[in-house]
Each structure stands twice: as C-alpha cells, then as structure tokens.
Amino acid sequence: MEYLSFISLKAGGSVVLGLLGLYLVIKIWIKWQKMDIDIIKARVFLNRKFLIKNWQYTFLSGASLVTHQFLDLSILMNYLDNTLLIDKLSSFSDLMALGFLVLLAFEWYVMLLQKK
C-alpha cells in the first residue's frame, strides 16, 4: 500500500509540475513574441546571477535524468536488484529532472516580466 501511495504521489507530482511548466512556457513564448530580441539578449547576458541559475538548473535536470536512466539500465543489465529503494530513487530522480526544468522556466518567466 505504501508503494502504491508513492506511485500516486509521483504521478500526481509529475502532472502538476508538467502543467505548471506548460503554463510558464506558454507565457514565456507569448512574452517573447512581443519583446525586442536585443532587450532579451541584454537581460540574459548582462545578468550573471541569471546565467548561473540557468546553467545550474540545466545541469541538475540533466544529472537527474542521467541518474534515473543509469538506475534503470543497471536494473536491466542485472547490476542492481530491483528493490523498493532503487525504484523510489529512480522515480524521484525522474521527478527532480522535471522539477528543475520547471524552475528553469520560472527563472525565464521572472526575467522576461521584469519592468526595466
């Protein structure tokens, strides 16, 4: 029963994060269409803090996906036993990857909506 609860939590979390990410990406795309590309370039490349956060979220999302895929491949190749802990770790790293992408979209959303 506990495992089923974890699957429900992961699935629900993925749906919520996915919808939130979709909302942010649509808002960003709409805002992009109305902005001058030079203003976007200036805001991105002159803001060191934004660039660092952007890189960190991209890296962490990629690392989370690699962790998820590595665990799944290790199980498939019989290097690891498919235990509850390994399965939870794999699922959690998959959810983290989506979470980091949503945070990345949020940072872009905030940057584009600044009134400067």
Per-residue pLDDT reduced to its tens digit, 8-43 = 777 788 889 999 999 999 999 999 898 888 888 888
Name the residue type at position 12.
G
C-alpha–C-alpha distance, residues 67 and 43, integer Å: 33
pLDDT in tens, 55-103: 999 999 999 999 999 999 998 888 888 888 888 888 889 999 999 999 9
Residue with tokens 């996906």: 65
- Could you tell me the two tokens for 42? 């200036």
Residue span of the structural domain in which 41 resides: 2-112
Residue identified by tokens 């989370």 is 64
Please report which confidence band the pLDDT of residue 46 belongs to, taking 50, 70 and 90 as the band edges: confident
- Residue 91: name the closest of 72, 73, 77 by CA: 72
Q: Total structural domains in the chain? A: 1
**Which residue from 56, 59, 91, 54 is spatially nearest to 72, judged by alpha carbons?**
91
